[in-house]
Amino acid sequence: DVKVTQSSRYLVKRTGEKVFLECVQDMDHENMFWYRQDPGLGLRLIYFSYDVKMKEKGDIPEGYSVSREKKERFSLILESASTNQTSMYLCASRTLTGGNTGELFFGEGSRLTVL
């Protein structure tokens, strides 16, 4: 089974702090994604990565950056956390090779509260 692991399930940070959210997948998937999920707004794409060292902005990249130095790991960085970044953050991975449907496999989420 594909496993996507998000290292922190719950975090509480203060405004202005730097925040790292880590995500690791164990199925050699090329694509990895970071979403945030807010009530009434659904899942919104922050950044995605097609492969190692590649990154593309999603719909709401402002205030975030990402790093993908290894294929299995995709990190989301909040350089200076703000209260409007309080949210649930979901990491996902997928492969489009070998006739796969492109199903996204999600981690369990990281709930970030910024005070």
Partner 1 sequence: QKEVEQDPGPLSVPEGAIVSLNCTYSNSAFQYFMWYRQYSRKGPELLMYTYSSGNKEDGRFTAQVDKSSKYISLFIRDSQPSDSATYLCAMCFSGSARQLTFGSGTQLTVLP
Instruction: Report the interface residues with partner 1, using CB under 8 A.
Output: 4, 40-43, 45, 48, 58, 90, 92, 96, 101-109
Judged by DSSP in three states, 84 sits in helix
Nearest to partner 1 of 7, 105 (CB atom): 105
Give dist(CA 91, CA 80) in Å, integer: 20
- Give the shortest CB-109-to-partner 1 separation in angstroms: 5
Contact predicate 32/74, CB 8 Å:
yes
Nearest to partner 1 of 78, 90 (CB atom): 90
Nearest to partner 1 of 31, 75 (CB atom): 31
Phi-psi region of 41 (alpha: psi -120 to 50; beta: other; left: phi over 0): alpha
- Give the shortest CB-16-to-partner 1 separation in angstroms: 28
Give dist(CA 114, CA 49) in Å, integer: 26
Nearest to partner 1 of 58, 63 (CB atom): 58
